[in-house]
Amino acid sequence: MPLSFQHILALLLWTVSSVAVQNIKVQGADYVNNVTTDRFQIIGVAYQPGGSAGFIAGSGIDPLSNGTLCLRDAALMQRLGINTIRVYNLDPSLNHDLCASIFNAVGIYMLLDVNSPLPNESLNPGDLTSSYNSAYLNRIFAVVEAFKNFPNTLGFFSGNEVMQQPGTEGNVPPYLRAVTRDLKNYIAKHSPRNIPVGYSAADVREILADSFAYLSCVIDGSTLDLSRIDFFGLNSYSWCGGDATFHSAGYDILVQMFANTTIPVFFSEYGCNEVRPRSFNEVQALYGPDMTGVMSGGIVYEYVQEESNNYGLVDVYDNGTAAIRVDYDTLQKQYNKLNIKQLQSGNSSATSLKSPRCSGGLITQASFSKSFKIPPPPSGAQTLIDNGIENPNTGKLVPVQETTVKAAVYGSNGGLIKDLAIAPLPDNQSNAPNGQDTSGATSPSSSPPSGTSTEGKPKSTGGAGHLDINLLLASLTLIIFSLREALS
């Protein structure tokens, strides 16, 4: 019996809302697609519009709360070739469903920090015993609740640069393992799947190897040790300028340092800007044969240009418009040189590695903790872990019904980017560089962006909107089989 237009439309909506990336799991030293078993290399960008200063408690805004802005940025990231975003500061009480679903639809995963710069929302290295309390754990568990159901949640950072100076780390390492343990226990009890938990370290070479060794070993040799991190991120800015090399930037030292890693290691930030514009030559090294045997990619700092720095790839304005910077174009050209198929090739030896047993012999610096006695959960914490937090704001995938970016977005040449939209991907694909030249797809415009706006901030789409031709074309291949079955 022929299907009516309403049936076809309903089927199309069902298909788009159900499209989801495959989960990525940690297997030895690699990230691996849970279905295809392809290796997953992070090609990422830091995504924190406004920086830490832009995160204001009670404002009702965080980087993943406005669907209109996420749609614009996801479209630009998809063209850039990004497959991962890192988001630092999140309000777990807000609705993130549409933003997470948009990034999911275009094959972009999310690495999320559970802490924030607000009081009592992170460990205080100067007052560990007081800051490690049940109220703090309630906060970070709320972040888990908000993102545990999204298939594109790649992992959670339990800490970021908590140890920054040699000789000052004190008792921080055991507390970092305690927070990691608590997060993993909560995930095990309340998440529909295992979600990795890791740490993001400052590139302080004197304590870097010890930080990695301490956090990635297993206490008593037990594979059930939940205080061990699942991945290790490094914020590294040692490659500066077009004249830097694999050796002058010290990348060779990092490869040697992590050569025997048993968990994924990647740059959780990179992109030195001491020489501008940036050349991003390190991309070829990071994803080349000298490093891919050890490293799992990296995250460029950062997507949005902040007033206080020159790290941004894109300028964004209060009225929702945006403009690509030259750094975006340069990075896109570097990504377009990568051999994605080769990067996806698995390494059976890397996926079968086992973590070493914790011991003081792993630590080289006299000032670094050699104690693997991990603090027990604070008062009230075990109840939260066993029963879950009260009234969790649990996220879920929602239909992505709007694909076309309505706000004007300009290339680095000042021209208006034509036909900017997201293209939802089949559910077994993550995004990847595809040879696009975003600034080249522009038309002359007499209305270039400006630094001020009188139009106000755009409203979130809230999950509603019209179906446009881009959505129909992108989804057609996904519904052919279902239509055939329905018509038979």
CA nearest neighbour of 459 among 104, 66, 116: 66
Gap between the Cα atoms of 378 and 376, Å rounded: 6
Give yes or no for a contact between 2 and 85, defined as CB atoms under 8 angstroms apart.
no
Question: Is 467 in contact with 420 (CB distance < 8 Å)?
Answer: no
Peptide bond into 169 cis (omega under 30): no
Contact 232, 199 (CB under 8 A): yes
**Per the residue annotation, which of 145, 269, 282, 402 is the catalytic one?**
269
Q: Is 485 a catalytic residue?
A: no
Contact between 442 and 410 (Cβ < 8 Å): yes
Non-local (6+) Cβ contacts of 128 within 8 A are: 170, 171, 172, 175
Rg value, the chain, Cα: 22
User: How far out from the chain centre does Cα 446 lie?
Assistant: 36
Q: Which of 153, 193, 154, 199 is nearest to 176 (CA)?
A: 199
Q: Please tell me the number of Cα atoms within 13 Å of 462 on its side-chain side.
A: 3
String of b and e for 300-323 (b: at least 16 CB within 10 Å)?
bbbbbbbeeeebbbbbbbebbbbb
CA pseudo-torsion sign 255, 260, 113, 205 = negative
Which is it for strands 265-270 and 295-300: parallel, antiparallel or unpaired? parallel
- Beta-carbon contacts of 213 under 8 Å, excluding residues fewer than 6 positions away, are 356, 362, 363
Residue 250 and residue 287: Cα distance in Å, rounded?
Answer: 16
Q: Is position 161 annotated as part of the catalytic site? A: yes
Q: What is the DSSP string of 189-212?
A: HH-SS---EEEEEE--HHHHHHHH
Catalytic residue list: 161, 269
